[in-house]
Amino acid sequence: MDVLLAPAPVLLAGGSTLVSVAAALFVYYLRPAYILILLRWYNVWKTGFKIKFVNVAGRQFGYMERGEPQEGEPSILFLHGFTDRKETWCEMIKYLPGHLHMIAVDLPGHGDTEIKPQDDLSFKNGLVILHQFVGAIGLDHEQFHIVGISMGGAIAGCYAASHPEEVSAVTLMCPAGVRTPPLEQLGSLLIPESTAAIKEMLSKVFYNWQAAEPPEMILEGLLELRRPRHDWYRKMLEESRKTPNILENEYMDKITAPTQVIWGMHDQILPPSAAAVLEKGVPNCRVDMLERCGHVPGFERPRKTASLLIRFRKSVFKS
């Protein structure tokens, strides 16, 4: 009797393995987006962040936070780029000191932050909404370091100019709003409708993306996650056409906090030459140009970008 029953656990274990393999194959081939979602969760967990939500003026904001505010070490607020989300910062953040208090937020219409059909999509109203978020989580109790990339870089610079009493330092990575190319051209590139179009986008965003080109099914998953927001992205681009160089024309000379610009020398989305415009136009500005880097320094060269950010903070917050 015991002999006959002995194989049962083995069969059960083998069955569970087969079920797991079958489930994995199902996800990979039929819903590859789930793999990307799991990887996103894993990166958040690995970097020690906690996903949080807050209601601001009837809008749910999603953000992630790690650490607690500390005297002499201003908190950092990270702003992602167009069509991206807060988790994009995980790759670089893992090289930053663990004691820092850091917050990365999903901007309206991105990630876990809501957008409403009746929303005013103007750039300046976006600054108002971000200010509401900063107040809602109490980040404005002390001055903080604001960091933004691409669209988030333009927002970071304009926010620092609009609220100098809140911002102690600014880091702009390949920011928009300065010598911006025609947005019609960027829209067709950054809102891809096929995996072939995604490949073209990645070839422009990264310096050498072919070195780690993802499988076709992963690209399908990426497209599946992005497509529901495409109409909103187009509306946002259309609104942005009214103020394409807003950082350069209206705000950069009003930034009073020490400012760092980091730009990939091989950026094909926004012109690296715009870094010189900021260096000249922002009163207290330093520029770091990265070799072998495109439009996303924090993702493509995360260790180097983190070291530049740390060095900048040390120069500003000497105590």
Of 314, 293, 308, 255, the C-alpha closest to 174 is 293
Residue among 170, 195, 200 nearest 185 (CA): 200
What's the CA gap between 187 and 200, in Å, rounded? 13
* Residue 22, H or E segment: helix 7-30
Helix (H) or strand (E) holding 287: strand 285-290
Of 101, 110, 145, 295, the catalytic one is: 295
Dist. CA 115–CA 282, nearest whole Å: 32
Distance CA 283, CA 278 (A): 9
189, containing H or E segment: helix 183-190
Residues 84, 106, 267, 288: which is the catalytic one?
267
Closest CA to 130 of 150, 160, 169: 160
Catalytic residue among 80, 145, 150, 168: 150
H/E element holding 137?
Answer: none
150 in active site: yes
Contact between residue 188 and residue 120 where contact means Cβ atoms under 8 Å apart: no
Catalytic residues: 150, 267, 295
